[in-house]
Amino acid sequence: MASSEQSQEARRTRPRRDLGAMRTMMAADRTLMAWIRTALSLLSFGFAIYKIMQEVEKSGKALSDQTPRNIGLVFGITGTTAMIMGTMEYWQTLHELRRDTHFWYLRPALIMSLLMSAAGLVLIFVILAHLF
């Protein structure tokens, strides 16, 4: 009987987890990961189009000098904007959850989204500077 009483006492003293907050946080993580996938697709597609059209332009086909750059910029800016918007939405969700539940802000999805935002800004700079 003593063992049974000890386990009941341990259950009572252990802090209860808020499963609703945990599920909401995991849903926010999944949503941010979807934003990351979308932004990554836009950024990589924009860079690929930029490079392909740049090679077509070098081969003498009739393209405007700015066409590859402009298309790459459109996709790069769109992908970066999507990543920044997704990160801001995620941050607001975490901020709301933090009112009731204590957790660490630096979650893996947030770190990845910040890296992707930086990569998008670098890609835009590279296309503008014609470094490739």
| Domains of the chain: total | 1
Question: What is the H or E stretch that residue 128 is in?
Answer: helix 108-129
Would the pLDDT of 115 be above 90? yes
Distance CA 78, CA 59 (A): 28
State which of 19-23, 37-41, 47-51, 93-97 shows the largest mean pLDDT: 37-41
Mean pLDDT, range 3-11, rounded to an integer: 62
Distance CA 111, CA 118 (A): 11
In a domain? residue 25: no
**Which pLDDT score, from 0 to 100, does residue 77 have?**
94
Percent of the chain with pLDDT over 90: 42
Pairwise pLDDT comparison (132 vs 77), residue with the higher score: 77
In a domain? residue 8: no
In a domain? residue 27: no
The pLDDT tens digits of the residues spanning 41-67 come to: 999 998 898 888 878 877 777 667 777
Query: What's the domain range around 78?
Result: 42-132
Which pLDDT band, with edges at 50, 70 and 90, does 128 fall under?
Answer: confident
In a domain? residue 30: no
In a domain? residue 14: no
In a domain? residue 6: no
pTM of the model: 0.75
Would the pLDDT of 1 be above 80? no
**Which pLDDT score, from 0 to 100, does residue 117 have?**
94
DSSP single-letter state for residue 62? S
**Which pLDDT score, from 0 to 100, does residue 103 have?**
76
In a domain? residue 21: no
In a domain? residue 36: no
